[in-house]
Amino acid sequence: MRILVTIPHYCVSIPVNAKHGATARGPLERSAALAHAIAALHQQWGSQQAIIQVGARRTKSANGGLCHTVDVVVVTDGRHHALHDLTIPEHLFEHLRVEIEPVHLGFACHKVLAERSSDYDYCGFMEDDLIVHDPWWFDKLEWFIGHVGADKILLPNRYEVAIGLAYQKVYLDGDLAERVTNPDYSRVGKLVVAG
């Protein structure tokens, strides 16, 4: 299986008081988050997985059914990024520089997906600080498509974890307000889209 993931990445050198990671955290934190996101994609599905055979003092390939070709494209505006601080090998990702306003980097990622999709079995877009922990992700997706069809959508649960706070695990995408999901509201123009 061939997998393509695009990641928009933007980082300012001096953090400002903001809600989002791109402007609230400095380059070292941003590069660490991005490195973990890229590394996790290769660790979960990359082709270099092995088991150590201690007695024979050698390694043997492992997880053959979960090993795939993973290509990661990090899209930046070419100036405001923390790629120079990454602690992972450069061959794990492609850096694509585009001349675009930072708020439009996601659109540039989607353009890459559209242009390259015919070369891959699965294409995806993710934020630069998300980590996928489930090695069965694509197997579950295959199961879902096999049961309900490729014209349906399956969305993952996003969550954040912490220790010592009120909750150790918090799901970010809870139930939506009725005004968003009720077709009667959208017909009369009361649909509210938050940015």
Are 73 and 107 members of one domain? yes
Provide the whole-model pTM: 0.79
pLDDT at 194 over 80: no
Average pLDDT, the chain: 86
Phi, psi of 166 (to 5 degrees): -60, -35
- Cβ atoms within 10 Å, residue 52: 11
**DSSP label at residue 146:** H
Whether 190 and 137 share a structural domain = no
With residue 53 as reference, give the H or E element that holds it: strand 50-53
Return the structure tokens found at 194. Answer: 């938050």
pLDDT at 126: 94
Domains identified in the chain, total number? 2
Region of 63 (left: φ > 0; alpha: ψ -120 to 50; beta: rest) is left
The domain of 53 spans 2-149
Residue 182 pLDDT > 50: yes
Give 193's pLDDT tier (boundaries 50, 70, 90): very low
The reply to whether 111 and 175 lie within a common domain is no
Q: What's the pLDDT at 91?
A: 94
41-89 confidence digits (pLDDT tens): 999 998 888 889 999 999 988 888 888 899 999 999 988 899 988 999 9
